[in-house]
Amino acid sequence: MTDAPDAGAASPARSCIYLDHSATSWPKPPEVVDAVVNAMTTCGANPGRGAYSMALAAARLVFESRRACADLLGVPDAHDLAFVSGCTEACNLMLKGLLVPGDRVVVSSMEHNAVSRPLHVLSSAGVRVEVVQADATGTVHAGDVERAVRAETTRAVICQHASNVTGAIQPIGDIADIAHENGALMLVDGAQAAGHMKVDLSALDVDAYAASGHKGLLGPQGVGVLYLRPGLDAAELLQGGTGGGSSEEESQPQGRPERYEAGTPNTPGIAGLGAGARLWLAHGEEWRAQEQRIFRELKEGLSAIRGVTVFGPASDEPCVPTLSLVSDRMDGDRIAFLLDRRYGIAVRSGLHCAPWAHRTIGTLETGAVRLGVGYGSTSDDVAAAVAALTELLA
């Protein structure tokens, strides 16, 4: 077996079949690109600092983006959404801002490093971490969470909304009920859910929810949001300038959202995220249905390849459009490399920054190949991926 010429060596911007949407969405919708460019070219001033026309335009752009994100996520008051650098910062903020030494937390075994690594730091500081095992599809069962929560006084239950490895959607509403019935907070990493599925934070009744701006929400990289329910105050991670209010005060303003937004905001990123949120508000139902249809084609096609094991819920079970697979014919890194070089198909192998999840589904030692669809994916894309893998693994 020989490697194909690297068609992308001369042109990193070559066209490819992009199936790494779980990592980040690509291409971005033109409306998102236009919003980013517009922010940089027509209102590049520092938002919320000056009150001249361009600074006001930038501040209004951030304001409107926040409102769009709040509308999309079912947040009644946009004050409760803070813009941060990404879901990782949002997870760090909700965990390090809410937990203190002596707290006990219950967390699922499917968490990404954006949750497990902050918890590792917190455990060194005296936070006790109880892990609840998910099943082999990556699904967390509410009954297992309930048993763990009831065993001892628990400060918080921490669970992803959807898996970045198997696409499993966790029963967050049920788990939140369990948490609250037992006096615990419900903290959610929504990195893989927002956009790909309808997220209504009012209905879910969670206490904090971290979301990525550049994955399903279609914004550029470098932006995310953190929701904190009214009245739940996390300690901010950063202190600094916030523009308005009382600059002469030594301490950080406690009002939302500025408390959590020290420093100049990522206005172009926020503008792009706002554009993505507006697109989901306008087309969400249609786009999600299409994603799910294409994803089912992918999952069923891959599941039929001899020697391939696909990880995730059954095809007729709800999930976000992400799956992982292993083959008994070839290692995952080789599969990903050849898909790229021979077929121009972009996927990711390895552990996907989620060793806990791979341990849960039994692929910690081998890793897996992950494929995800999203905005811009077509039936032809997934058919090409299935055909390529069928040929590679024959």
Minimum CB–partner distance for residue 226 and another protein (Å):
15
The answer to whether residue 214 forms part of the interface with another protein (CB under 8 A) is: no
Q: How far apart are CB 264 and another protein at their closest, in Å? A: 13
Does residue 244 bind another protein (CB under 8 A)?
A: yes
By the rule CB under 8 A, 267 interacts with another protein: no
Using CB under 8 A as the binding rule, whether residue 59 contacts another protein is answered as yes
Residue number with CB closer to another protein (101 or 244): 244
Residues 77-106 touching another protein, rule: CB under 8 A, are 78-79
With contact defined as beta carbons under 8 Å apart, do 274 and 68 qualify? yes
Write out the DSSP string of 241-284: --SSS-TT-SSPP-STTGGG--S---HHHHHHHHHHHHHHHHHH
Given a contact cutoff of 8 angstroms between Cβ atoms, the answer to whether 312 and 334 are in contact is no
Q: Does 60 bind another protein (CB under 8 A)?
A: yes
State yes or no: is 353 an active-site residue.
yes
Phi, psi dihedral angles at 301 (to 5 degrees): -65, -45
With CB under 8 A as the rule, give the number of residues binding another protein.
Answer: 24
We find the least distance from the C-beta atom of residue 184 to another protein, in angstroms, to be 29
Quote the DSSP letter at residue 329: S
Interacting residues with another protein between 23 and 52 (CB under 8 A): 47-51
Cis before 118? omega within 30:
no
By the rule CB under 8 A, 269 interacts with another protein:
no
User: Does residue 257 belong to the site contacting another protein (CB under 8 A)?
Assistant: yes
- 253 scored as a contact of another protein (CB under 8 A): yes
- Judged by beta carbon, residue 81 or residue 354, the one nearer another protein is 81
**Assigned token pair, 18:** 């992009």
Bridge partners (DSSP) listed for residue 349: 369
Q: Does 258 bind another protein (CB under 8 A)?
A: yes
Q: How far is the CB of 232 from another protein (least distance, A)?
A: 18
* CA-atom Rg of the chain in angstroms: 21
Under the binding rule (CB under 8 A), the answer on residue 229 touching another protein is no
Judged by CB, which is closer to another protein: 39, or 187? 39
User: Does 180 interact with another protein (rule: CB under 8 A)?
Assistant: no
Listed ranges 12-20, 126-134, 138-146, 243-251: which one lies at the site for another protein (CB under 8 A): 243-251
In the chain, the amino acid numbered 84 is: V
Q: Does 231 bind another protein (CB under 8 A)?
A: no
- Check 43, 159, 319, 353 and give the catalytic one: 353
C-alpha count within 13 angstroms, C-beta hemisphere, residue 376:
17
Q: Which residues pair with 371 in a beta bridge?
A: 323
Question: Does residue 262 bind another protein (CB under 8 A)?
Answer: no
What is the sign of the dihedral through the CA atoms of 166, 171, 176 and 182?
Answer: negative
**Smaller CB distance to another protein: residue 259 or 352?**
259
* Cα 302 from Cα 389, distance rounded (Å): 8
Nearest 5 degrees, angle CA 259-CA 260-CA 265? 110
Closest to 162 (Cα-Cα) out of 221, 218, 216, 99: 216
278 is an interface residue for another protein by CB under 8 A: no
Piece in contact with another protein (CB under 8 A), picked from 25-33, 242-250, 267-275, 283-291: 242-250
Select from 143, 183, 255, 307 the one that contacts another protein (CB under 8 A).
255
Tell me whether residue 41 or residue 246 sits nearer to another protein (CB atom): 246
Tokens read off for 168: 């499993």
| DSSP assignment string, 35-47 | HHHHHHHT--S-T
Query: CB of residue 106 vs another protein: minimum separation in angstroms?
Result: 34
215 binds another protein (CB under 8 A): no
Q: At 343, phi and psi to the nearest 5?
A: -120, -5
- Which one of the spans 34-42, 96-104, 193-201, 250-258 is the region binding another protein (CB under 8 A)? 250-258
The rounded distance, in Å, linking the Cα atoms of 249 and 7 is 57
Q: Are the beta carbons of 338 and 3 closer than 8 angstroms?
A: yes
> Is there a contact between 31 and 279 (Cβ–Cβ < 8 Å)?
yes
Task: Report the interface residues with another protein, using CB under 8 A.
Answer: 47-51, 56, 59-60, 63, 66, 78-79, 242-248, 253, 255-258
Catalytically active residues are: 353
